[in-house]
Amino acid sequence: MKAEGMILAVTAAETAECRGLGIPLGRMSYRVSPEGVLLRAAALSGEVRGGVMIVMGRIPEGDAARLSAAILAECAAREYAGVYLDGEAAGGTAALAAALEAPLQAAGRRLYTPPGAGAGIPVLESAVTGGSYRLYLEEARARHPEGIALALLPMAVSFVLPAWDEGQPLSREELAAELASGGLQYYSKELCARYQTSRGTDGLTRFLLYDDADTLREKCRVAEAAGVEAIFLPYALLRTELPDILEI
């Protein structure tokens, strides 16, 4: 996917590390207090301009009009290209999204929201563990003619066979240990992910489903072909794979 279709999500402290990558930045520097007040990270420089404003966490129910006005003012002051409400659709998210949608659109800015928010461009997660990744995106695109976006989240999940449950998420270190166990590794074209089966010392057979730099890059390619307009890349989770994803 072209760099302008990707948005690197960074904290204020990570911004300096990402200069020169030629990719727009998503500013993970905002949240909303329980009282409904927009808060900005103290580390965010007053000189920061451009990119996407990312409002992290839960949006409490309350005065959506007042909160919307504060977000719109921040967007205008810092020349942000859009807003991403990066939390659950519960609480006050739907009301805030509804209040933001029209004025952002009128200003030529985008609104990205969690699925189910009822307004804005829904941001889907890339970690698909069943079915077809391509169909998952194409069907979502058909349901949302206004567009869809993607959060590229590296997947590492362990399932115990034959009883499939939701799986056990693995840390990067746990994934490395599992892969070092010597099980055979395969690639699933349907899921755009790698997998490995192995038998542990407890006698249980485990199915490991995971991403690496190649599968993450392929997920971006498939997303572009499916009509995904923007991909959010969390820098903290993708620091190692980022050069391969961006092919730099």
pLDDT digits (tens, 9 = 90+) for 5-29: 899 999 999 998 888 888 999 999 9
The pLDDT assigned to 1 comes to 53
Cα–Cα distance measured from residue 84 to residue 27, given in angstroms and rounded to the nearest whole number: 9
Cα–Cα distance measured from residue 169 to residue 175, given in angstroms and rounded to the nearest whole number: 9
Given a contact cutoff of 8 angstroms between Cβ atoms, the answer to whether 102 and 79 are in contact is no
The pLDDT assigned to 248 comes to 57
55 and 88 share one domain: yes
Q: Quick one: pLDDT band at residue 40, thresholds 50, 70, 90?
A: very high
Phi, psi of 201 (to 5 degrees): -65, -15
Provide the domain count of the chain.
2
| pLDDT tens for each residue of 149-183 | 999 999 999 988 876 667 889 999 999 988 887 77
30 and 88 share one domain: yes
Phi, psi of 166 (to 5 degrees): -80, -10
49 and 121 share one domain: yes
Cα–Cα distance measured from residue 3 to residue 207, given in angstroms and rounded to the nearest whole number: 34
Domain of residue 205 covers 156-210
Domain of 52: which CATH number?
3.20.20.80
99 and 187 share one domain: no
Given a contact cutoff of 8 angstroms between Cβ atoms, the answer to whether 232 and 245 are in contact is no
88 and 129 share one domain: yes
132 and 21 share one domain: yes
Answer whether residue 199 shows pLDDT above 90. no
75 and 162 share one domain: no
Give the pTM.
0.93
134 and 44 share one domain: yes
The pLDDT assigned to 4 comes to 62
Domain of 195: which CATH number?
3.10.50.10
